[in-house]
Amino acid sequence: MYKRKSQLDTRNVLNILKKNGIHYEWNNSIKRFRTFSSIQNQKKESISWIRDRLPEKVTMQCTNLVSDFNFQNPLEDIAIIKVEDPRYVFAKILEELFARSNTQDYISAKSSVDKSVIIGKHCFIDDFVRVGKNCVIGKNVRLYANVSLYDNVRIYDDVIIHSGTVIGADGYGYVKNKDGIYEKMPQLGGVVVERNVEIGANTCIDRGTIDNTIVGEGTKIDNLCHIAHNVIIGKNCMIVANSEISGSVILGDHVWIAPCVTIKEGIKIGDNSFIGFKSLVLEDVPPNSLAYGHPAKITIRE
């Protein structure tokens, strides 16, 4: 679990020393820190290290200091930990509290994650809640490395999400003010991914503006696809690599989207339709249709 720097204090350091069998002396002061610094370029609320004396003309700003046993403390209001080899010990502290923590998952304590979920390295599950809804992840879900889930994302059971995918990012929504300058339209909806969906690597599914973006049960989305805000995808659809589905598109059930397809915003694609390779869809496609070309020409299947 990712440790935020703002949550660290002297006790985290002492635990590392105890775990590694390192002898220390301590002035019994407990101070918080959020980062690290050198003694020459100190940062506020940081941890630093020194040997036997302070450099000249240095004003201490850090809150925690690792030193050797010869250090005579002229400082007040700083936690001092004395060890035999402060440089080595400081390296261990950086490895445990900073280098390692930044390569592990961050999973919001407010999210609801079933114990059966498998989470790969570097995953991120957000806790920045805009509308009072945290992430919910159901049973037997697999998140591969580097998956990011924003707040207000609901993942149902038996879903697989491959590396680099982002779900719940803001949709591309802007409005012009009276001066003709674009301002962001708040994106306050969420994303719902229903049962037995698989989502390929480096795909992005945007949150809805007000209502949810929905990926229907059994749908399979390939690598490098973009699903924009307010899109509704039906059951058992197949969406193949490099396809782009613009905002508020509605796909029926059992729709097949071939590679490199672009679908204009607000279009409806009927059940059991097939959209061919590199097609540009600019008008609604009735159920049981074939659509090919740039722009796409539509043929009703018999």
pLDDT tens profile 76-114: 789 999 999 999 999 888 888 876 544 446 777 778 888
Does 106-300 match 5-102 at the fold level?
Answer: no
Burial class of residue 180 (count of CB atoms within 10 Å of its CB; 0-12, 13-18, 19+) = exposed
Closest by CA position to 114, among listed 144, 148, 133, 137: 137
At the second CATH level, the architecture of 106-300 is: 3 Solenoid (2.160)
pLDDT in tens, 163-193: 999 999 999 988 888 999 999 888 889 999 9
Q: If you average pLDDT over every residue of the chain, what do you get?
A: 89
pLDDT band at 129 (very low <50, low <70, confident <90, very high): low
- How many other C-beta atoms are found inside a 10 Å radius of the C-beta of residue 120? 15
Share of the chain above pLDDT 90, in %: 65
Rounded CA-CA distance 285/134 in Å is 36
Indicate the pairing of strand 166-169 with strand 204-206: parallel
- Does 55 sit behind a cis peptide bond, omega within 30 degrees of 0 on the bond before it? no
Q: In this structure, what token pair is assigned to residue 197?
A: 């969906």
- Give the number of residues written for the chain: 302
When pLDDT is averaged across residues 270-288 and rounded to a whole number, the result is 98
pLDDT band at 120 (very low <50, low <70, confident <90, very high): confident
DSSP string, 201-220: TT-EEEPPSSSPEEE-TT-E
Q: Which fold has domain 5-102?
A: 3.40.1390
254: annotated active-site residue: no
- How many other C-beta atoms are found inside a 10 Å radius of the C-beta of residue 220? 16
Cβ-based neighbours of 67, under 8 Å, separated by 6 or more = 49, 50, 51, 52, 73, 80, 81, 82, 83, 86
Residue 244 and residue 260 in contact, taking contact as beta carbons nearer than 8 Å? no
Please tell me which residue in 23, 122, 226, 229 is annotated as part of the active site: 229
Please state, in angstroms and as integers, the Cα–Cα distance from residue 243 to each residue in 176, 202, 204, 233, 253, following that order. Answer: 28, 12, 11, 14, 17
Residue 298 and residue 283 in contact, taking contact as beta carbons nearer than 8 Å? yes
Structure confidence at residue 102 (pLDDT): 45
Rounded CA-CA distance 282/280 in Å is 6
Residue boundaries of the structural domains of the chain: 5-102, 106-300
